[in-house]
Amino acid sequence: KRYNLKSTKEKLKEDETRNNNSRYYNNGNDNDFQLNTICFNTVLHAFAKKGNSEKAMEILARMDEIGKNNENAHPDEITFHSVLQALSLSKNPQKVIMARDILRRIENSHISGDWAVIPS
């Protein structure tokens, strides 16, 4: 068998890249890469498929936090759909109350003029 072994230098470079990439998530405002609605929605969709409502709500809160300084990272219809899907599959006993709060948030956002979120 032949193995393709990477040199130590290549491995170190990969580790450095991985460490640099982790800082992008932490501040969300790097010039080379910015978290945006699509990034958040992709992660939310993964949690929604597993019914992980706690993580979905954490991601939504993080999105709200970053969205204060990044106009490209605001929740949209897809965001809320994923959170509601996560809640629907969750075993969380508070899921109905949490879903109702999300629906109210969607409705209030639309009423206040946020046309990115339309209740359907």
Token pair 């010039």 is found at 31
pLDDT score of 20: 53
DSSP for 34-97, written as a single string? ---HHHHHHHHHHHHHHT-HHHHHHHHHHHHHHHTT-TT----HHHHHHHHHHHHH---TTHHH
Q: How far apart are CA 93 and CA 24, in angstroms?
A: 34
pLDDT string in tens for the chain (120-residue length): 444 444 555 655 665 655 555 444 455 555 556 789 999 999 999 999 999 999 999 999 999 999 888 888 989 889 999 999 999 999 999 999 999 999 999 888 878 877 666 666
pTM of the model: 0.68
